Structure 1
Amino acid sequence: MAERVEGEGSNNGERNNSSYHLQPLEIDNEDILFCVDIDPQSMVEMKGVTGLNGRPLTRLDAIKQAIVLFVNAKLTINPQHRFAFATLSNSASWLRKEFSSEVESTIAAMQELSVTTSSSQPDLTTLFQLAAHEAEKSGTQGRILRVILFYCRSTGLPQHQWPVNQRLFTLDIMYLHDKPGPDNCPQEVYDTLVDTLEHVTDYEGYIFESGQASARVLFRRVLVLLSHPQQRCIQEYINIPKSLANKAPLVQPMATEDNSRVSTQ
């Protein structure tokens, strides 16, 4: 909250000077729980980036890279943030329960990620139960908990049973999906995810979607999620990352007699 302080007026009728003071706000360290959808649809190939073998990355491969990128960047901002990992099949389950600030722990967790054979309509209730339990533990340590869900299904609407008055953590969602077709309904899935986010999130939660199968789009969106929940604007006001196509061209200085000479020394 900004406080306006009036300055002393002058005798000659000039406008009073005034200044604004922004009250200091303590920003809590974050415990971030990544939950990765391991449905077979996470094996769809992405565009724009290839792996070491020259083959296109799958969604799951790209998600793994995006998470490692996120963790490295987040720890550069503040080395006190911590991370844990879960997977989503029919329901959520722990992959690595202990929150850690070690990049090596993140890399090890990503190496353990693998796709399940098949899954039915996913139930997010278990994920929210895990998050609520961890949020209470984080709160006793003066920290806040955030869940970042990577969701990859274009069929089968996610469901949950969660009280509307229990907003104990912040939820972000990255939704990777196929194009609309007779066998899938990505718009309905997206709308359901939006409703779910608004139902459970504490601070402003962000949701991004991509049906372009582009790994670069995923990486850009994930970097926006670096923003701390306590410092966020609402999502509709986000204008980053800016398109280079809209960037004004640099204006070259005009040549003059002084700056057009070439030194011979």
Structure 2
Amino acid sequence: MEEQRVEGEGSSKDTRTSTIFKLPPLQIDNEDILFCIDIDPQSMLQMKGLTRLDAIKQAILLFVNAKLTINPQHRFAFATLSDSASWLKKEFSSEVESTIAAMRELSATTSSSQPDLTTLFQLAAHEAKKSSTQGRILRVILFYCRSTGRPQHQWPENQRLFTLDIMYLHDKPGPDNCPQEVYDTLVDTLEHVTDYEGYIFESGHASARILFRHVLVLLSHPQQRCIQEYINIPKLLAKKAPLVEPMATEDNFPVSTQ
């Protein structure tokens, strides 16, 4: 938006022209966030002191509490991923107690095959249209735990109705594991369906702390994000270098008052 202002005195020919530029206000929408948690048996593999699934539960509780502190109008719902996606808690809610109840109901399945994300995207697209009518945007955060099975989906590339973030927990490469191939598939999937800039993080370390660190980066609102390669947070807490005493000069040499 641009306004032009002309300043002058009376009918003087000496007029001054100045241009004022104004940026229109940016509308930041409240979020409806759909968590989808992979409940494949690999979600029960041990990390340091707890299973992947337990660590994911703690990470989600941390995320929800922090997100509501930023803006209590955000809402959350929950789904699980086995062979396909299904609802765990369909109604979006801003109540922390609702999230706690969903986490208590969350458990792993005993077996599953190659997952199909098509159902998840169908659920998300349906909810995204409902959110849009309320002036909100929808985001999906997928926690994926498989090192052996690459996900598949069938989704039109021109239908981008929601933002997708992915947190990938995996094993080290081995005869039965192909985490790099799975990761590459997840990256392609994200780029295929996401509306705003979507983030993907991976961790092959058996540490919940790494998971929590990545999840806290996902607190960033999709409408305010930079592209992922520019992220430089969280910063490492490097040891401070010892302070060096300045050399005595004529200007800073201490003067005795005694």
Deviations 1:200-246 (A, max 9, x none): 0000000000001110000000000000000000000000000112x
Counterpart in 2 of 1:39?
Answer: 40
Question: Cα distance 1:93–1:244, how it changes in 2: closer, same or farther (>3 A)?
Answer: same
Distance in 2 (CA, whole Å) between partners of 1:32 and 1:191 is: 24
Counterpart in 2 of 1:29?
Answer: 30
What amino acid is aligned across from residue 140 of structure 2 in structure 1?
V
Counterpart in 2 of 1:83?
Answer: 76
Distance in 2 (CA, whole Å) between partners of 1:38 and 1:136 is: 27
Greater gyration radius? 2
Counterpart in 1 of 2:230?
Answer: 237
Counterpart in 1 of 2:214?
Answer: 221
Question: Cα distance 1:250–1:74, how it changes in 2: closer, same or farther (>3 A)?
Answer: farther
Question: Cα distance 1:156–1:80, how it changes in 2: closer, same or farther (>3 A)?
Answer: same
Matches within 5 A, 1:1-265: 22-47=23-48, 56-245=49-238, 248-249=240-241, 251=243
- Partner-residue secondary structure (3-state), 2:50: strand
Q: After TM superposition, where is structure 1 displaced by more than 6 Å over at least 4 residues in a row?
A: 3-6, 17-20
Question: Cα distance 1:21–1:63, how it changes in 2: closer, same or farther (>3 A)?
Answer: same
With the length of structure 1 as denominator, give the TM-score of the two structures. Answer: 0.84
- Partner-residue secondary structure (3-state), 2:234: coil
Distance in 2 (CA, whole Å) between partners of 1:63 and 1:4 is: 51
Question: Cα distance 1:252–1:93, how it changes in 2: closer, same or farther (>3 A)?
Answer: farther
1:191 positional shift: 0.1
With the length of structure 2 as denominator, give the TM-score of the two structures. Answer: 0.86
Deviations 1:162-220 (A, max 9, x none): 00000000000000000000111000000000000000000000000000111000000
1:117 positional shift: 0.6
How many residues align structurally? 238
* Identical-pair percentage: 84
Over aligned residues, Cα RMSD in angstroms?
A: 2.4
Distance in 2 (CA, whole Å) between partners of 1:23 and 1:45 is: 50
Q: Which runs of 5+ in 2 are unaligned?
A: 8-17, 247-252
Counterpart in 1 of 2:13?
Answer: none
Distance in 2 (CA, whole Å) between partners of 1:23 and 1:78 is: 22
1:111 positional shift: 0.3
1:23 positional shift: 3.4
